[in-house]
């Protein structure tokens, strides 16, 4: 009778256990790799959010400085460049900005017609006036490993313009 009980109660074979463990291990690998990707994307999103806030802060500082100069009737006539590093805890982020004169090219008239020449002269005068009164402010934020080549470092750029109305 004891022999009959042993024959009726069958357990799992070694092969079945190995297949189950292989399926379980594969499932864990897939789950862990997707979680790793989520962590990387979350970290990138955090870096980008911090860079955006720092860029907004720095651009506000630049605009305040330019507004003070405009109040004193100073307007940047020449190109200006500055760079630096943000303070703790954002020392991993670096910035540089430039202010330059806006220059819009004007095509020369193709015909000998006097109307085209008049329009071209008016356009040229307008573009020169824009060049005198408009400056481009370009702010570049870079973060990541300083030893990486610049093209491999994550970055963002913000461009705005300042206009002298009088």
- Per-residue pLDDT of the chain (166 residues), as tens digits, is 555 555 555 677 888 888 999 999 998 888 887 776 777 888 889 999 999 999 999 999 999 998 898 888 888 877 889 999 999 999 999 999 999 988 888 777 666 666 677 777 888 888 888 888 899 999 999 998 888 887 889 999 999 998 888 7
Note the pTM of the prediction, 2 decimals.
Answer: 0.68
The strand ranges marked E within the chain are: 80-85, 93-101, 134-143, 155-163
In sign, the C-alpha dihedral spanning 139, 144, 146, 148 is negative
Residue pair 131/104 in contact (Cβ under 8 Å)? The answer is yes
In whole angstroms, what is the distance from residue 10 CA to residue 158 CA?
71
**pLDDT at position 145, please?**
84
Backbone angles phi, psi at 23, to 5 degrees: -65, -45
């Amino acid at each position: 009778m004891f022999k009959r009980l042993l024959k009726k109660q069958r357990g799992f074979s070694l092969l079945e256990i190995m297949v189950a463990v292989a399926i379980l291990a594969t499932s864990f690998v897939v789950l862990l790799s997707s979680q790793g990707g989520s962590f990387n994307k979350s970290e990138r999103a955090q870096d980008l959010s911090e860079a955006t806030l720092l860029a907004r802060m720095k651009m506000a500082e630049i605009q305040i400085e330019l507004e003070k100069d405009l109040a004193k009737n100073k307007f940047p006539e020449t190109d200006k460049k500055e760079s630096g590093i943000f303070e703790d805890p954002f020392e991993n982020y670096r910035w540089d900005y430039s202010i330059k004169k806006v220059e819009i090219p004007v095509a020369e008239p193709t015909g000998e017609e006097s109307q085209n020449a008049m329009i071209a002269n008016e356009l040229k005068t307008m573009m020169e006036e824009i060049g005198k009164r408009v400056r481009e402010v370009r702010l570049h934020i870079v973060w990541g490993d300083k030893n990486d080549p610049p093209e491999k470092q994550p970055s963002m750029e913000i461009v705005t313009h300042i206009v002298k109305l009088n």
